[in-house]
Structure 1
Amino acid sequence: MLYAVVDIETTGGFASGNGITEISILVHNGVEVLNVYDTLINPEQDIPTYIESLTGISNDMVIDAPVFSEVAGEIYELLHDKVFVAHNVNFDFSFIKYQLSSCGYELNCKKLCTVRLSRKLLPGYGSYSLGKLCAALNIHIHNRHRAGGDAAATAELLTLLLTADVEGVIAHTLSRASKEQVLPPNLPKSQIDRLPRVPGVYYFKDQKGTVIYVGKAKSIYQRVCSHFSGNNAGKQRQDFLKNIHTVDFEVCGTELMAFILEAAEIKRLWPKNNRALKRFEQKYALYVFEDQKGYMRLGIDKYKKQAAVLYSFNTLLEGYDLLRVLIQEHLLCEKLCFIQKNRACCTGHEEGRCSGACVGKESAAAYNVRVKYAIAHLKTMLPTFAVIGEGRTDDEQSCLLVEEGKFYGMGYISHHTDINGSEMLKSVLQPYPSDEYILNLISNHVEKFPQRKITV
């Protein structure tokens, strides 16, 4: 088996927006290096000052070097039929695959990461960065942070790893069944092996244990692994993968519960790599307040997190439709409900449907009685029901509770639990914040599975 030990220097940290400034490829037969390829590359863009300070490669040094397209064919021939080896292999591979693809070459070869292999075969070191690990192993790096020097050190490290591999770890890593080749450099495979193939929520954490991403899944194992497939060369994905050190999870009885838990956890933890659900917010709400004359007034306004909300909506139309129902059923004043403006009295008073609160003909006390009845009626209009589904084990079933149109919470109950009373269910369920996103999830679910909805 032949290995291609690779190191590159670049203008930045992600392939789609940066270029390669130097590449070194050492062909290794498992015992020794057979061939060395090393060249500067003109990246066709400026090299940032901090990169020049780190690598010593300046714009002047690469101005007469070949651009990547001029050497792409030679690089492809060196790599395509060998095992691609690098320290943090997915970084180097993403750059080279991206550049080769832009030149019409599709690189598809097996990969080995010497970071991951070192953690397995040479455990116990404080750091597995190339510089610190080689220092601990007495591997001298000539010309650090240059492709040739780092590739030569990686080749020595590979020789050491091959010698230390008495249990066939490398062969297993290269097998089709292994996920090692695609995993982030800092995520142990043991973390993946313990993931269940059931619905739930998973948490990617960084080196300090901070949650950086929350996701939901029908199968936790398959969904987590899907994050590592493909070769997206963008900065966001590359930084994301680099920062994953552990993955935790929570099993849910159903996919619906996983969706809801994900939404709640994103709002609670605010992980930096979650974006879509962070942007979801209720837009409008129905409020009640007492004006200076003592009249209770219903009105639709923008949703305010700190205000007491009677009900919330995604659209103004939805809110006004509900408000008009309350006005019609309880003979409320359209002017006091902000439906009509710039009139001395509302049209309802002219037509006999309003007793004249808008012009002071009805007292606040009398009008407020009907407003209170309208609010009580609103609560009866808003449904209270449970959604029953599969549990995590055969001895339980999942239960979600919606009370008066708002999501109360969810949890697990016995198959013998009496679910006729909401107070009893509330005593055993875990409360969660309610929002329109969660209510829409539940509504869509019960529309698809009406037999799972039980009126409480």
Structure 2
Amino acid sequence: MYAILDIETTGGKYNEEGITEIAIYRFDGHEIVDQFSSLINPERSIQPFVVNLTGINNQMLRNAPKFYEVAKRIIEITEDCTLVAHNAKFDNRILTTEFDRLGYKYEKKTLCTVELSKKLIPDLPSYSLGKLVKSLGIPLTDRHRAQGDAKATVTLFKMLLNKDTQKNIIQAAVRKNPKRQLEPKLLDFIAEAPTETGVYYMHRDDGKIIYIGKSKNIKKRLTQHFTSDNRKSKRIQKEVASVSYEKTGSDLIAQLKESEEIKSNRPVYNRALRKSTFNHQLTSFKDENGYINLKIEKADARKKAITTFTNYQQAKAVLFKITEAYKLCQKLNGLHKTQGSCFQYSIKACNGACIAAEPPEAYNRRVQQFIDETSYKNQNMLIIDRGRDVEERSVVLIEAGQYKGFGYFNLNHQITNPEILKTLINPMQNNRDVQHIIQNYLRKNKKVKTVKLS
């Protein structure tokens, strides 16, 4: 649990500043679950330059509550939380100083979004909150007011959690709160899990990830893990001390994250998924009569594949559908062994390429149409899919046929502006596994929106 906050102060000498405004959002890693904001009477004058910066003046604070009047609420909303702020060292020092004046020891672990941004989004020209969120396409209203700055920091932190593929932030949180993670039983993990699409992470008590999975219904999948009596499940049940998760909205993003993060984190119970997720591929060749033939083969990295399949049965079923949809020849595609015409020709669903009744040029145009529509080789495109809430969409970026990564956006200008799009995308590894995942997803989900880039 995180308490994401922003504090405005009077300015003045070090450790003599007073709080003029505070905003805190209690954030569970996925959504805001509680919030508090208030002007505060600092019982001292505000520096003139601060008035010009924030717009908060002494008159506005005359009837505002004093810090001791809101202290209890601050303690409650930040209980069991890591404090998160943009320049967390400053906000934590100010808050600790105010509690010290009341004789109360206030100690919290902190995370700084400036430091996290420099690590996870390197080489930006500025990491000040205003310039950083602008470069990322994050809306920011009421700059230099606590509520506006804190809300923008929530959105920024959510993006940083998403970019943290090594899961260092989550693993650190588990290590910092071991007592809480050891107490819940398996039923507690199931009860707390969402029924939504996403990726889940099982941790040992030292925070280390031992298993990564994805599901369209995380709660249902965890129930299967924790009620199964096979050897692997029993070992996981005994060892797991905590479960964290990330909602993705899109099943495509969940599959891509699972593939990337298993390879990156190498969890002990994910050995099978460290290998390739497909074993057959579709290739093409031109026969002696000039016709392009489609052929199912075992996966071979040395050969260029049009698309890939999990197994031979899936490949054969899909090739039958392709042959029918594009009015191709079963004989040329290896689906009907015959010396004469194919079955499709007998029902007038094939134009006769099997007996050279159709010219190769006409037949090959339809084959090439299929290849162009199926393979994203050399294409620049965006795949737009569901986001984590109704206002959000997910985006997968393909450049020159290479998978570059994924991200989320709320406003169309974020993906039509190349500079903002670049910062929204979490860079990911391009490999044959992710190509298989993307092609398989597009093949099964015809209604998914794709946008060609120039």
Q: Could you say which TM-score interval applies, normalised by the shorter chain?
A: 0.3 to 0.5
**Alignment TM-score, normalising by the size of structure 1:** 0.37
**Structure with max Cα Rg:** 1
